[in-house]
Structure 1
C-alpha cells in the first residue's frame, strides 16, 4: 500500500505537536499562574543560543537582541538612523577641531544592582568598547574617554571623523554601559555579570535550554514616542523566557499549539501557513542582503572582467522569486546600505544592477579568452535561501556557456574554507546591515577573498576622516558608484527579511535590527 507524502507529513507534525505540548505542560501551568498577574510571561522560541550577552564583545545577532533588554548606550538611533541621546541627556562637539565630544549624563539612572550610574562607569565601559568592538577601528584609534565630573564624559579623538556618533550608536557590538566594577572584573574572558540600566534584568541562563529575563521595576525610561531604539521603553510583561529550539519545525509547531508566543527564524516555505492561520501573524525583520561574494585573490573571479561578466549576465528577478516564493520577503535594491538609513542610502551604480544581459556578458568573457575554466560556487543547505539562490545562479551561468560546479558544505566548513584555503570562486550568502560604510567587510582588503583595491581603500579612508556628515555621504555616493562599475567585490541580489512568527496574543513587538520586546504586551 502506498502512503502519500502529505499523510506522512501530517503524522510527523501530529507527533511533534504532542511532544511539544507534553514538554511544555509545566511551562503552560506556570503561564496560567502568571496570567493572574496581568503582566504575565512571554515565551519566545530562539533558533540558536548566543555565545554570551557581553554586548561589546560579540557580533552575533541573537546576542544583540537579548542583551539590549539589559544594556543601554550613551547615544542611540531613531528609525531613520539619526543619532539621539539615550543615557546621555545631551552631547556636543567642539567646533574648532571636531575632535572633542562632551556627553552630559542623565542623573539618577540606576543599574540593576541599585548603584547610580556615573561618569566613571561610562568611561570604563566606553574604553572597553573601543578595545573590544571591531566597529571602532580607524575612527577611535588613539581616542580616550575621561570623566570631567560625576555626570560629564569627555571623548578626545586623535583625529576627527564624521562617523564618530554613528559608530557609538551602532547596534552591532554596541557600546553597552555597565558598572565600573563589572568592567574591571571582566578581564580577557569577558563580563561574568550582566548588569545594565535597561527595562529588563538578567535572571537565569540554563545552557541549551533557556535564558530568563525579568522586569526591572526601577527602570527610568526616556520620554517621547518610541522611535527606532529611542523614545519610551516600558516593560509591560513581567518575565521573558527565551527557549532554545534549534529545529525549525518544532518552533513553528510550538507557535501553533500555544507553547510559544513568538518564534525566531521561521522557514520561508512556511510563510503561507503564518498568513492563513487565524491565531498567528508573520513578523518581518529587514535583515540585510543576499549576495554573491567573489574570491578576488585567487582563481577565475580574481579577474575583474570575470566578475563584471557574471554581474552583467544575471536575471536577478528569476533568482529571487523562486528562492523566496513571495515578494513580501525581499526587495530588489542596488544600494549597499539599508534603504532605511537615509543618510547612506544611495542609487549610485544602479545601472549595473540586474542587467540581465547575457549577450553583453559573452562579449566580456571573450575579452578575457574564457575557455570553459571551472568556476566553483560554494553554498550550504543550512540556510535554504542561500542554497536555492546558488542553484539558480549556477543554472543561469551554465546557460551562458560557463563551466560551473556547485559545492555544498555545512556553514562552519564554508566559513573555514573561505577564510583559510582560498579554494573557492563564488559564495552565495547573506550579509547583515551595518551602521556605516566602512563596516562593510567585503569592500575591505582584510576580508577573506578581498583585495587591496587602492581607490576603494583611499575613498574609505576619506569617509572615515571626513569632517562633516555631508562630506561623508557625498564620498560614499561616489564610492558606491565606483565599486559597482570598477571593483565588483560582490553582486547584490536583493535585500531580504528574516521571517518570525507571533501569536495574536502578542501585541506591540517592535522591529529595528531585530525584535524589540519592550512596549510589548500580552492580551490573553
Structure 2
C-alpha cells in the first residue's frame, strides 16, 4: 500500500501485494498460505514500516542527500554506506544482547578475546594468558601501546574496570558474578582474574560476542552519567553520531594501533581504509535489496535468499549466500504463564514443523537445527545429530496438552519486529501451536522494548535468534543456569552438568558432558532451536575487501571503494 492506502505498484520482477511470487513460491507454499493467513497481513505491515522509515528519512532531510544521495558529498570514495536489517538500540554494548547494535559497534569497540573466522577463540586486546593448574586463576597480559579514541593509552586497569562493571551491571552480570570472584591489575600490563570455581572454558566467556566484554576506559561509564551514550573504544573506527532510524556514523581512527597477528573473524590486524562509514537501518528486506540494486548503498547484509537469483547478473553488483551458523530459537518463560509444566513445553516442541518454518522464513534454505549448538563445532557428536523433534507429531502434542491439564488460557508469543524473518516465524509458530490446541497471541516488539522484556523474563514464549558463540558451554549454559537465567529456568541437574563441563579439562570428558546436556535439554526444554539462518549479502562491484562471513556482521576494516 502507498501512504494514501492505495495499492502500490510492484517493482519490476516483483509480484503485486496479495499475489503469489513466481520467483519463490510453488504449490507447496499455497498450502502454507492457507494454513498461515496472517503472513499476508505481516507482509503489509513490513511495507508500512518501510513507508514510515522513508518518511523519517525525508523528515530528517537525509533521503537522497546525506545518506542515500549518489551525488552528495558523502557519496565520494571516502564514504561507505552499509544497509542493516534494523537500527541500533543501545550503544552501551554491556547492556544489550541486540545483534544489530553489535554489527556497527564492533568496528568501534574491541574485546580481550573474540571469535576467529572459524569461531575459534582468538586474542584481540590480550597478548597472552596463563591458567593456574587448578583452573581457578587466569593471568592475562594486555597489548601495549593500544589507544582509546579519547587519546588514553589502554592498560590493565581499564580491563579490570570493564570486568568489574560486567559483574555489577548489564545483561551478563549474573553470569560474571557466578563465575568471577576477584579481578586485579597488579601492574599496567597484567590482569589477574580469580574464579569462584575451576573453569577450563573461561576464555569462551570472555570471547562471547553476545553482550560482549568490550573494553571501556576506566571511569568512562561514570563520566557519561551511568551508561555509555558516546562510545569510546580502541577499534579502527571511532564513533561520530547516532541518529535514530537514520544512521550510525563512524570515522577512521587516525591513532589506531593495529594488532600484528593475521586477521581472522573479529580478531587480528585491522586497517581502516574509509574516512567515514554510515550504518543505515532499512528494516524491510525488499527495500534493502532495492537500495543495493540501485546503488543507494554500497553493502547490504541480511538479505533474503530469494534475492540471490534476482540479483545475480545485475550490472556492477556482487551477491553471495552462505549457509548460516546462527539459528532461530524459541524460549519458554518460567516466571509467569503455564510453561513451568514440562509436558506443556514438550507439547510445544512436538507441535512445531521445522521444515514448514524454514520454508516460510528462509525459502527452505535454512536447515532444521538438531541440537542446542551448531553442527560442526567441537563436541557435536552422534547424540546431537539425532533430533527427536525433527518431524512434528500433533497427536503426541495433543496428548501431552491433555495430560498437563491445559484449559486453553491465552499464551503470548513475544518476538522481534525486525528482522522480519523473526516476526514471520512467530506467526507460523502461532498457527502450528494453535493446530495442536494452544491459544496463542503474537506480540512483536522493537528491539529496545524486547530487550526489556527479555531482561525481566516477562514472557510466556519468546522467539528470537542465537548468533554464533565460541563454545558449547556458552550455548547450553550462559542463559540457562539457575544463577543466570532471565527466564527463571531452574534445574539442579542442568546446573551440575554445566559446572562439570567447565571443570573437565580433557576433550573426551567434555564431550560426554555435552552429550548428557543435550539429552537433558531435549527432555526439559529450557530452549528450542528451530532453523539455521542463511547469510545473504550483496555489495557494489567497486567495493573491495568486503569479507562476507557465515557468522554475519559487517566488518568494514580492510574495505575500500
Range class of TM-score, shorter chain:
0.7 to 0.9
- Match in the other structure for 1:259: 296
Shift of 1:10: 3.6
Matches within 5 A, 1:156-175: 156-175=194-213
Shift of 1:234: 1.6
- Match in the other structure for 1:219: 256
Deviates more, 1:471-480 or 1:457-466: 457-466
Q: Which runs of 5+ in 2 are unaligned?
A: 1-5, 17-46
Deviates more, 1:50-59 or 1:374-383: 374-383
Q: Paired residues, what number?
A: 503
Aligned mates of 1:299, 1:51 — CA distance in 2 = 28
Deviates more, 1:222-231 or 1:263-272: 263-272
Matches within 5 A, 1:220-235: 220-235=257-272
1:342 aligned residue (378, 384, 401): 378
Kindly provide the CA deviation profile for residues 461-501 of structure 1, in whole angstroms up to 9, marking residues without a partner as x. 433555566544432221111221x2134443222235444
- Match in the other structure for 2:161: 124
- Match in the other structure for 1:143: 181
- Match in the other structure for 1:201: 238
Aligned mates of 2:281, 2:494 — CA distance in 1 = 42
Kindly provide the CA deviation profile for residues 208-242 of structure 1, in whole angstroms up to 9, marking residues without a partner as x. 43322111233222234322222221212222112
Aligned mates of 2:107, 2:335 — CA distance in 1 = 42
- Match in the other structure for 2:97: 59
- Match in the other structure for 1:477: 515
Shift of 1:92: 0.5
- Match in the other structure for 2:421: 385
Whether 1:290 aligns to 2:328 is yes
Instruction: Identify if the C-alpha distance between structure 1 residues 149 and 255 changes in structure 2 by more than 3 Å, giving closer, same or farther.
Output: same
Kindly provide the CA deviation profile for residues 269-307 of structure 1, in whole angstroms up to 9, marking residues without a partner as x. 545433453424145584733334445677665543344
Whether 1:30 aligns to 2:73 is yes
Aligned to 1:241, the other structure's residue is in SS state strand
Aligned to 1:521, the other structure's residue is in SS state coil
Instruction: Identify if the C-alpha distance between structure 1 residues 275 and 105 changes in structure 2 by more than 3 Å, giving closer, same or farther.
Output: same
Task: Provide TM-score, normalisation by structure 1.
Answer: 0.80
- Match in the other structure for 1:177: 215
- Match in the other structure for 2:543: 506
Aligned mates of 1:271, 1:241 — CA distance in 2 = 24
Whether 1:311 aligns to 2:345 is no
Kindly provide the CA deviation profile for residues 5-60 of structure 1, in whole angstroms up to 9, marking residues without a partner as x. 998224999x989985467575632145x43xxxx211123343323322323222
1:411 aligned residue (442, 445, 448): 445
1:106 aligned residue (143, 146, 150): 143
Q: Kindly indicate whether the alpha-carbon contact (under 8 Å) linking 1:171 and 1:513 is maintained by their aligned counterparts in 2.
A: no
Q: Kindly indicate whether the alpha-carbon contact (under 8 Å) linking 1:301 and 1:307 is maintained by their aligned counterparts in 2.
A: yes
Q: Kindly indicate whether the alpha-carbon contact (under 8 Å) linking 2:326 and 2:467 is maintained by their aligned counterparts in 1.
A: yes
- Match in the other structure for 1:73: 111
Aligned mates of 1:470, 1:135 — CA distance in 2 = 29
- Match in the other structure for 2:31: none
Shift of 1:251: 3.1
- Match in the other structure for 1:8: 9
Q: Kindly indicate whether the alpha-carbon contact (under 8 Å) linking 1:296 and 1:489 is maintained by their aligned counterparts in 2.
A: no
Q: Kindly indicate whether the alpha-carbon contact (under 8 Å) linking 1:337 and 1:433 is maintained by their aligned counterparts in 2.
A: no
Shift of 1:351: 3.8
Task: Provide TM-score, normalisation by structure 2.
Answer: 0.75
Whether 1:89 aligns to 2:89 is no
Aligned mates of 1:323, 1:79 — CA distance in 2 = 26
Aligned to 2:72, the other structure's residue is in SS state helix
Matches within 5 A, 1:354-433: 354-358=390-394, 368=403, 373=408, 376=411, 378=413, 382=417, 384-386=420-422, 388-390=424-426, 392-393=428-429, 402-411=436-445, 424=460, 428-433=463-468
1:462 aligned residue (500, 505, 520): 500
1:154 aligned residue (174, 192, 196): 192
Kindly provide the CA deviation profile for residues 356-406 of structure 1, in whole angstroms up to 9, marking residues without a partner as x. 44565566667x28798567573669354345445555555666xx43444
Aligned to 1:408, the other structure's residue is in SS state strand
Shift of 1:175: 1.8
Deviates more, 1:23-32 or 1:410-419: 410-419
Aligned mates of 1:182, 1:419 — CA distance in 2 = 24
Deviates more, 1:99-108 or 1:409-418: 409-418
2:554 aligned residue (515, 519, 522): 515
RMSD: 4.0
Q: Kindly indicate whether the alpha-carbon contact (under 8 Å) linking 2:171 and 2:455 is maintained by their aligned counterparts in 1.
A: no
Aligned mates of 2:183, 2:483 — CA distance in 1 = 29
Q: Kindly indicate whether the alpha-carbon contact (under 8 Å) linking 1:349 and 1:482 is maintained by their aligned counterparts in 2.
A: no
Aligned mates of 1:271, 1:325 — CA distance in 2 = 11
Aligned mates of 2:216, 2:340 — CA distance in 1 = 45
Aligned mates of 2:240, 2:257 — CA distance in 1 = 19
Instruction: Identify if the C-alpha distance between structure 1 residues 347 and 321 changes in structure 2 by more than 3 Å, giving closer, same or farther.
Output: farther
Deviates more, 1:58-67 or 1:342-351: 342-351
Q: Kindly indicate whether the alpha-carbon contact (under 8 Å) linking 1:252 and 1:266 is maintained by their aligned counterparts in 2.
A: yes
Shift of 1:171: 0.9
Instruction: Please say which structure displays the higher CA radius of gyration.
Output: 1
Deviates more, 1:308-317 or 1:54-63: 308-317
